[in-house]
Structure 1
Amino acid sequence: MVSRPRLPEDRMLVEQLRLQLGNIGSSVIPTILLALLLVWVLSNEDNALAIRAWAGLTILMKLYLAWDAQRLLATEISPEHARRLLRRKMVINVIDGALWGSLAWAALGSTSVAGSVLVVAVLAGVAGSSMSSLAPIFPVFVAFGAAELVVLGARLWTLDDPAYNGLAVAAVLYTAALLGQARNGSRAARRAIGLRFENLELIERLRVETEHAQAAHRAAEEANLAKSKFLAAASHDLRQPIHAQGLFLEVLARTKLSADQYDALANARATWQASAEMLDTLLDFSRIEAGVVEPQMQVFALQPLLNKIENELAPQADAKGIVYRSRETHAAVRSDPALVALILRNLVSNAIRYTEEGGVLVACRTRGNKMVLEVWDTGIGIEPDQHDAIFREFHQLGNAERDRRKGLGLGLAIAQGLARALGQTLSLSSVPGRGSVFRLTLPMERAGLAEEEGARKAPGAARGFDLHVLVIDDDESVRTGMQQLLSAWGCTCDAADAIEEAQTLARARPPDLVISDYRLRELRTGAEAIAALRAEFGAGLPALLITGDTAPQRLREARATGVPLLHKPVLPSQLHRAMTAVLSGRELDSSFAPLDRRRA
């Protein structure tokens, strides 16, 4: 058993003194009334003066004790002075006990038998009452009880009567019994005081721990916010040059090149594509955090989606020498096919990455009115204590060296976030060393299928535009790349780096389309630029916003403008498709982004 820490003795004594002092006030009025009653009942010609003197001294002593207790309670009793105060209390209670015992000298032998019985009964009652009020400090009660007993016993002995002598012996025995009870009462008081301080200590410790937990929670929130801000800033700064690079590569691809140059261009475009996909992954995660992913629910068949994922990822499994299988299904579900495809792609990619032998199986199982998509693998498995951790952002198993070929550690975090956006659950079962299975539950649709949305194809290089475009971007390389690409598509183009310059160029040559970066100089935005231009040239002026921001707050702000939004780095085919949609008056999802890019 672990022993509880004991309260320091001097501190314990202070609390005992305060407890005992607090008991005095309640006995003042009963003492005054009792003294006056005894004067009235016991007084006669022989003892009137002695009894009245006794009553006056007793009342004065009780008033002094009450005043002294109130004075001491109003001050802070320091542990250093507690011992001295204890000795003082013992002296005062010796006087008080002797004063009560002197009642026997004033009344016994000069009053009737009934009066003598009353005196002894009063003194016995006073001793019992003092035991309860003085018990918190046992030595103080001993001082009071011993003084009263000695004075009373001396008077009984001097009366030289066998009955009084027997009464003296009984008083000794009664006092001894009271001492035993007083000792028990003192121990109980000490335990109560110790327990009270333990509770206070526990409360204080709980308060401190709560403050520490709250501080740690605030620090974690601040760290998470700082992480999000850093990722957003880093992503934005990286997207600018990568976006410009993609534009220049597209322009370069339209020039005459040798075979070796075409090979080098293909490698450069593949590298650009890999960088863009990593940034898209960060954007997907930021969009989920921002809460701007809005599922577009529809009924669709699962098999075409499974075929598409298999066509994309089976070559990766073949390259590792493992088997990739997906079971045929005729099931249809109601959900967002693009989001379900992204979840499944992340789960399958993860399974292939962590499987070295055996294979990966994608299957569907019916459970009531639900369809469960399952991704099985025979990989390394996941320890039970890691089941929650693997869904945290940037958490990877077996990649302490942060090999970029193993991704960023966001796939499962994105998959779980998208599952929540769909209102569904993503669960995991795993056996370390034998493999894992991830399950996504979707509502099954037994009715007829809605017509599937036709695949959106990028226009051929021969198809161009006959229009004037105003580009607004504060990055010179992006402006140059956009001008060259739009010129290759048959557009004439003006480029500005600020709102005022854009207005000047537009007045000289009104644009048919405005393409603006969202974040401009001096904390201004492309939304402001488009609003200013529409105020001059009409609310129907077609416009597109392009942003490299991934901060959740920025994403929400950009989305709230209602202007179609593209995310850097923008694929040229995606830009062409967006321009076509805006110019033809077709609605374009205002959060057009990598999540949607994967629909194509």
Structure 2
Amino acid sequence: MTPETAQSALARRLVMARSQVLRAQWPITLAHALVAWALWRDGLETAAAAWFVVMTGVNLARSWQLPRLSAVTEEEAQRVSRIAFNWLVVIGLLRPVPVLLTLLGHDAQGLYLITMIMLGLTVGGAPNLAGLMHLYDVWAAPLFLAFGGVWLARADVEGVAIALLLAMFFVVLRSYVRDYGAVLAREMTWAEQLRVERDRAEEAIVARGRFFAAASHDLRQPVAAMRWYGEAVEEHARLLGHEGLKQIGEGIARAMARADPLLAQYLEISRLEAREAPLPLSTVDLGELLRQTADAWAPQARQQGLSIRVESPEALGLGDEPTLRRILDNLVANAIKFTPAGAVTLAVEAATPGRWRVSVSDTGVGIAPADQSHVFDDFFQIGNAARASEKGVGLGLSIARRHAERLGSALRLSSMPGQGSRFEFELSGADDRPALAAAPVHVQQDDLPAELNFLVVDDDAEVRQALRARLEARGWIAHTASTMDEALAQWRGGVVPDIVLADHRLGDDRTGAELIAALRAEGCEAPAIIITGDTAPDRLAQLSRSGLAVLHKPVSDRLLVQAVGQLLAVA
């Protein structure tokens, strides 16, 4: 045990002893009243009353002072230990008084009664001093010395025998206090080590999250620029009828298409860790949801020679449909990936009264027992030691698990190598039919005004220039600024944007949300979109609370057009 751990253990033992003393205050007072009564009955009224008053006063004073002491630091623990030692010295000197007073009386039964009561109090108080041998000695030794002297003073065989038994009892009780203290110290050491390891693990998780958030942000910046430059190249190739430029633009688009799912998974993990808002639960037609999922994945399944089936009765569950779609998409994608032949089955069945079990099973390669406890871990992959990018990055099942947890469920796995796998989770049943959702509004470029003024604000020059090139390739006007002050200066100089596109982090500890608020304060009512490469959970939560439209880099041309169109429609 290190000195720091020892001091921590001492502090915790002192706190425990203090709380136990407070709990035992009234039982101890009643026991002392019984001892005083035994002396009173033997004709020692004044001495009995005086001892009881003094003893009760000392115990009450100790109970009043101890709760006001803390034992957090090493110095405080040592100070509390000294104060406790002083109190126990006083109590240790007062406890033998009734035993010694029996020498003045004539009632042998009183000595037996006092011996039993004081011995019982000693046994009951011993655990409070576990491992604190110096405190136990000053508290218990005077009493046992008085016991031995009084019983030996009887000068008979019975007295000698009881004195020896009490001496042996003191030795045994002292060893118990020592051994119990050692066990307690060992357990406290283990608890401290577990706490330290837990803190290290939590710090590692936070550090990992910060690293991936920072890495994701730094990666998204140039990728966003690549996407916008590529789309600008495609647009110019279309306008010029240049086949070479068209092939270059299409090549950039194919590369971006491979990067998009990976970046989307990093963003999804960060959003789930941010826990931006509670899920709005509603009635979901589980059978219909499974059929839609199967239809969406059927072409990819057919390409691999697989069939995809749905087995579902009439089933209404309580959940969040977009979240359920993400779970099912990840599970079906995983099943298709690891099923060389056979079928993938999506099913709903009754679990318990009022609950449905949703499952995705396959006839694939299965998962070895040694790997099953790790399949939901971030970045865990089976059979991809080379980390081939076409096989993903190992986040699909981790994302599905997090989504299930947000629904208050647990994602479970059952699998045998060579016999396929089955993933399942449960949902509460629902009684009402789901309301029909409004059809999403799809915006095409032709639906947007031919002339639009944009104010683009981003502290990354490459990203700023790429987005400007993309907007100008569409025939729109883009005014750019690198800082909040530059953007405000352009507004004050006469630039009146139809749309503001601002990065989240603008440098100088300024944010896009702060820029929008400043523009609003100066009379600019243009709709605004925050375009960010941030995936840190705290920043995602901050953006969610802002109420602004948010797009995550790299932003495709389709998403940008949709967002602009929807904002202009609302405006």
Under TM normalisation by the shorter chain, which class is it?
0.5 to 0.7
Cα deviation, residue 309, structure 1: 3.6
Identity level (%):
32
Summarize the alignment of residues 93-172 of structure 1 with structure 2, pairs less than 5 Å apart: 123-124=155-156, 128-134=158-164
Q: RMSD of the TM alignment (CA)?
A: 3.6
Q: Assess, with a 3 A threshold, how the Cα gap between structure 1 residues 468 and 516 changes in structure 2: closer, same or farther.
A: same
In 2: Cα distance, 1:505 partner to 1:418 partner: 44
* 1:350 equivalent in structure 2: 334
Identify the residue that residue 511 of structure 1 maps to in structure 2: 497
What's 1:555 paired with?
540
Residue in structure 2 matching 1:240, options 191, 196, 221: 221
1:265 to 244, 249, 261: 249
Distance in 1, Cα, partners of 2:505 & 2:407: 30
1:395-544 superposed matches below 5 A: 395-442=380-427, 450-460=435-445, 463-508=448-493, 509-538=495-524, 540-544=525-529
Q: Report whether the alignment pairs 1:193 with 2:174.
A: yes
1:532-583 CA-partner distances (Å, limit 9, x unpaired): 1111024x43111111111111111111111111111111111111111112
- 5+ residue gaps, structure 2, are 1-88, 107-132, 136-144
Aligned-partner residue type, residue 282 of structure 1? Y
Alignment partner of 2:497: what SS?
coil
Pairing of 1:232-311 with structure 2 (within 5 A):
232-256=213-237, 259=243, 262-292=246-276, 295=279, 301=285, 305-306=289-290, 308-311=292-295
1:365 corresponding residue in structure 2:
349
Q: Distance in 2 between matches of 1:194 and 1:444?
A: 60
| 2-structure distance, mates of 1:193, 1:347 | 62
Matched, 1:313 2:336: no
In the alignment, the residues of structure 2 paired with residue 482 and residue 123 of structure 1 have an alpha-carbon distance, to the nearest angstrom, of: 106
On the 8 A contact 1:24/1:133 being kept in 2, the answer is: no
Asked if 2 retains the 8 angstrom alpha-carbon contact of 1:464 and 1:490, the reply is no
Distance 1:528 1:516 in 2: 10
CA distance in 2 between partners of 1:261 and 1:240 (Å): 24
Counterpart of 2:463, as a letter, is: V
SS in 2 for 1:453: coil
Could you list the per-position Cα deviations for residues 217-245 of structure 1 after superposition, in whole angstroms to 9, with x for gaps in the alignment?
Answer: 11111111111111111111111111111
SS at 2:394 equivalent? coil
Partners in 1 of 2:528 and 2:217 — Cα distance? 21
2:443–2:566 Cα contact (<8 Å) kept: no
Could you tell me which amino acid in structure 2 is paired with residue 522 of structure 1?
D
Quickly say closer, same or farther: Cα 1:33–1:375, change in 2 above 3 A: closer
Closer, same or farther in 2 for the Cα pair 1:195/1:433, shift >3 Å?
farther
Compared with structure 1, are the counterparts of its residues 569 and 22 closer, same or farther at alpha carbon in structure 2 (3 Å cutoff)?
same
Offset of 1:383 from its aligned partner?
Answer: 4.9
Partner of 1:220: 201
Q: CA deviation at 1:302?
A: 5.2
SS at match of 1:555: helix
Matched AA of 1:438: F
TM-score scaled by structure 1?
A: 0.65
Distance in 1 (alpha carbons) for counterparts of 2:299 and 2:280: 30
Larger radius of gyration: 1
Distance 2:426 2:102 in 1: 79
Tell me the amino acid that sits aligned with residue 472 of structure 1. V
Cα deviation, residue 445, structure 1:
5.7
Deviates more, 1:477-486 or 1:326-335: 326-335
Q: Which deviates the most, 199-208 or 443-452?
A: 443-452
Query: Are the equivalent residues in 2 in contact too, given 1:300–1:452 (CA < 8 A)?
Result: no
Structure 2 match to 1:394: 379
Query: 8 Å contact 2:221–2:554 — kept in the other structure?
Result: yes
Q: Closer, same or farther in 2 for the Cα pair 1:528/1:311, shift >3 Å?
A: same
Q: Which secondary structure state, in structure 2, belongs to the residue aligned with residue 550 of structure 1?
A: coil
Deviations 1:121-161 (Å, cap 9, x if unpaired)?
Answer: x532xx54344335576xxxxxxxxxxxxxxxxxxxxxxxx
- 1:304 & 1:30 partners in 2: Cα distance? 89
Q: Distance in 1 between matches of 2:558 and 2:331?
A: 27
Q: CA deviation at 1:286?
A: 0.9
Partners of 1:317 and 1:76 lie apart in 2 by 76
**1:2-44 Cα shifts (integer Å, max 9, x gaps):** xxxxxxxxxxxxxxxx9x999987765555779xxxxxxxxxx
Mark the runs of 5 or more structure 1 residues left unpaired by the alignment: 1-17, 35-74, 78-88, 101-121, 138-185, 587-600
TM-score by structure 2 length? 0.68
Counterparts of 1:501 and 1:582 in 2: how far apart (Å)? Answer: 24
Which amino acid in 2 is paired with 1:493? Answer: A
The partner residue of 2:322 within 325, 338, 341 is 338
Distance 1:301 1:262, change over 3 A: farther
The letter of the residue matching 2:201 is A
Counterparts of 2:470 and 2:262 in 1: how far apart (Å)? Answer: 24
1:43 paired residue number: none
Q: Is the 8 A contact 2:316 2:430 kept in 1?
A: yes
Report if the CA contact (8 A) 1:301-1:331 is conserved: yes
C-alpha distance in 2, partners of 1:318/1:238?
A: 35
CA contact (8 A) 1:293 1:421 kept: no
Pick closer, same or farther for the CA change 1:329–1:258 going to 2, 3 Å. farther
